[in-house]
Structures are given as C-alpha cells and as structure tokens.
Amino acid sequence: MDKERRICMGMAWQSGTQRIGCSQRVFPYISAMVNNGSLSYDHERDGRPTELGGCTAIVRNLHYDTFLVIRYVKRHLTIMMDIDGKHEWRDCIEVPGVRLPRGYYFGTSSITGDLSDNHDIISLKLFELTVERTPEEEKLHRDVFLPSVDNMKLPEMTAPLPPLSGLALFLIVFFSLVFSVFAIVIGIILYNKWQEQSRKRFY
C-alpha cells in the first residue's frame, strides 16, 4: 500500500479552511481512496470523485498527541481516530468490500498546496492480525492482484499475468535460440547464392 506505484490505498490528511462545494466540508479532513495506479487525486475538488469516505478531524494547535488507526480485516476497511486527548477511539470511516493484494508497502507523504501547515508523524506501529479464514476465503484473498473495491469500477483493472514457470521460460529461451540459429543459417545460404549469381553475371 503506497502511493508511488500508485498501486494501493491512499490516505489523505487534508488541511485548509472550510469550503462549500456540493456538500459542506470542514478541514482538516481525513479521506480514504483505493487506487490501482490509474487514478489521480483531484486536489481542486479535495478528492471527492475518488473518495470512499471521510470525516473531519480538528487536529490543529493541540497540546496533546493525536492517533489514527487503520484496520483492514477480511476486506473490511475501518479507520478510527483519537483526537480529543481522552484515549477513546471514535469511528471515522468504515468501508466493506475493499480488496488489497499482499506484498505491498506502507508509505507516508503530504502536500499542502498554498498552505504552510506542518505534518508531523511521530511514529507508525504495524500489527499483523490473526484472522481465521475458510479455504475459500484464503483462496480469494490470495487471488487479489490489484487493489479494488466491490461495486466500484476502477479503470484499467487488468490483472498482471502470472509469472512463467521454469519449464516455460526454458522452452521460450530454447526455441528463441533455435529460431535465431535457423534464421542465421538461412541468411548465410541466401547470401552465398546471391554472391554466386553475381559472379555468373560478371563472367
């Protein structure tokens, strides 16, 4: 999960003043999006076209630490926050049907546009949750190659081809070499015939 392949789940902690668009939104604001590399974050509209959900998080000029939990279990994405200094979690986003592949990375970045806000991330704590899955659920989990969300069509959602086996790779290399040798032999034969015909015409 990253956004430099921009193959993954994007989290935006936005800063700004209150804006009036199609709906009223107070900033700072936490929003979530899932991207397979084909989408871009629309800064002009604060990410609304690709947003899965969000909530306001008043975190400016606080004298205590604030916390954010991102939990992903069985294709269920939940985001909770503790921004009141009471050590109590408050719901922010809950999205079912999120499909994230294995083997990606966690990353952080920030952009403030014309604002000059600080974005201080004190620490990241990662936990692997133990979840019981049926064999069917485990197979479905393994077969996810690109990030996606149920009932949400992302463009260019073509899964990558599975890697070639050792035998298939060997056969491809072998037949490529055979074809190359065959092409070289045919070229030499044609070249020799052309030279012979040139000599006959000369005499």
pTM: 0.59
50 neighbors 33 (Cβ within 8 angstroms)? yes
CA distances from 55 to 59, 110, 124 (A): 12, 18, 21
Do 123 and 172 share a structural domain? no
Do 21 and 76 share a structural domain? yes
Do 79 and 19 share a structural domain? yes
Do 178 and 97 share a structural domain? no
Q: H or E segment at 98?
A: strand 98-99
Domain span at residue 80 reads: 8-149
| Least confident among 43-47, 112-116, 120-124 | 112-116
- Amino acid of residue 165: S
Q: Which of residues 124 and 166 earns the better pLDDT score?
A: 124
Q: How many domains does the chain have?
A: 2
pLDDT of residue 159: 52
Do 136 and 190 share a structural domain? no
For β-strands 67-73 and 76-82, DSSP reports them as antiparallel
CA distance 145 to 142: 8
Quick: pLDDT tens for 7-38.
Answer: 333 444 444 444 444 456 788 888 898 888 78
Quick: pLDDT tens for 117-143.
Answer: 677 788 889 888 888 878 877 777 777
Do 169 and 143 share a structural domain? no
Q: H or E segment at 81?
A: strand 76-82
Sorted by sequence, the CB contacts under 8 Å of residue 110 that are 6+ apart come out as 13, 119
Sorted by sequence, the CB contacts under 8 Å of residue 69 that are 6+ apart come out as 78, 79, 80, 81, 82, 89
Q: Is residue 14 part of a domain?
A: yes
